[in-house]
Structure 1
């Protein structure tokens, strides 16, 4: 099935799939260098179709079937792509389900569209990961190269070729940092799921996010043997159960 094409303010086409069904709409917000054909995105679509629920998945610019080059994108761009999908495709109320970087973007989108997003599920959420790349993952030499040429090529265990990380991306992240705050202004139910064997994003990120949102609004679920992707059958079943529970709350 051909994707829907949404046009950004700078003329790029954002690809999305929308499944019509019962409200609330579930919106899957993908991770860094991921896309809407991933295991979690397609599994959740099947589950929503089975239950007659509305569902949307999409690709950021520079990802999957959308226009643009990955290395040209910034966190601000990918947040704006998410807001475009919310504004043009999603009927309120919406439950945002964000994976990894998508967990960060889902929180930012919920803060900007309180009239649309009524619930949120974060899967291995990675708020402020751009700061982690600079301070924890880059050597002094890599930082020097980044400052001189504006990018570095970062090896990835998920693909053969390195991922291009740009200074523009890291700088844009500074405009959206969350974890330094004392609290977040949320009045929607939130469920945060994180694997304790996650080697890419420490589970303490979700713990901190849970505290910032507040225990009255947020629930933290830690998976003792869970890795970053949380794409095993039992992980997918857990995610699905928690989404269903959240939908029932609404």
Structure 2
């Protein structure tokens, strides 16, 4: 396994692991409060290494081994973090793989790195969740609390409560991707579990409808949950990367 490297990023010192190999470089973008030691990130690294494929996994600021405080971050910061690591550690074509929030960040990066992206795989992608999930689901009291006090906390089925800050909400509105067509002139594969309690199937369909791609497929998997990390789920991700990434 490759060693962890560090980069002085736009918001904090950023940790990443880059495995050299043939391209396009597979870039794994993890989810909200997740990190590059997650099951999918590590599994796909081993898969890529066994095939001589270039691979990159990273921690956004406030996540994993990177510096910074989680509650200080927002979508714009984390997308800038990912872009900084990608531009520093890789060259040539990219295949972006975004899990949950990473699907939103990946969607942003397909536009910001448009000349380099050769494919995109979204796994339980959660675009615009700060607005359509958090804000839309808040009670009036929760909305007042986050805007006046700066933060509120939501229970999570995946660990500690989620800290939702005013900055996260306001920055999210500046980075929405489901309000206009989303050009992706390359192959795109989206996958969504039917038992996902964090991202709705309607979200998956909205992303499908907004992406403008010549080769776009969305697969629903009966019984799969938000983690999408069972052996058959991992095999499906591998197959999608192999199919669109050469």
TM bucket normalised to smaller: over 0.9
Report the TM-score when normalising by structure 2: 0.96
The alignment yields a C-alpha RMSD, in angstroms, of 1.2
The answer for the alignment partner of 1:9 in structure 2 is: 10
For residue 18 of structure 2, give the secondary structure of its aligned residue in structure 1: strand
Note if contact 1:19-1:56 (Cα within 8 Å) is conserved in structure 2: yes
The answer for the alignment partner of 1:106 in structure 2 is: 106
Note if contact 2:10-2:81 (Cα within 8 Å) is conserved in structure 1: no
Note if contact 1:61-1:68 (Cα within 8 Å) is conserved in structure 2: yes
Report the TM-score when normalising by structure 1: 0.94
Structure 1 alignment gaps of length 5 or more: none
Residues 22-80 of structure 1, C-alpha deviation per residue, up to 9 Å, x if partnerless? 11110000100000000000000010011111000000000000000100001110010
Residues 98-120 of structure 1, C-alpha deviation per residue, up to 9 Å, x if partnerless? 00000010010010111221110
Task: Work out the CA distance in 1 between the residues paired with 2:25 and 2:147.
Answer: 42
Q: How many residues align?
A: 244
Residues 146-187 of structure 1, C-alpha deviation per residue, up to 9 Å, x if partnerless? 12211012111111x322110100110001112121x22221
The answer for the alignment partner of 1:135 in structure 2 is: 136
Sort the Cα spacing of 1:36 and 1:50 in 2 relative to 1 into closer, same or farther, 3 A: same
After TM superposition, what 4+ stretches of structure 1 lie above 3 angstroms from structure 2? none
Note if contact 1:152-1:164 (Cα within 8 Å) is conserved in structure 2: yes
Choose the corresponding residue for 1:195, options 193, 196, 213.
Answer: 193
Task: Work out the CA distance in 1 between the residues paired with 2:65 and 2:56.
Answer: 15
The answer for the alignment partner of 2:178 in structure 1 is: 179
The answer for the alignment partner of 1:47 in structure 2 is: 47
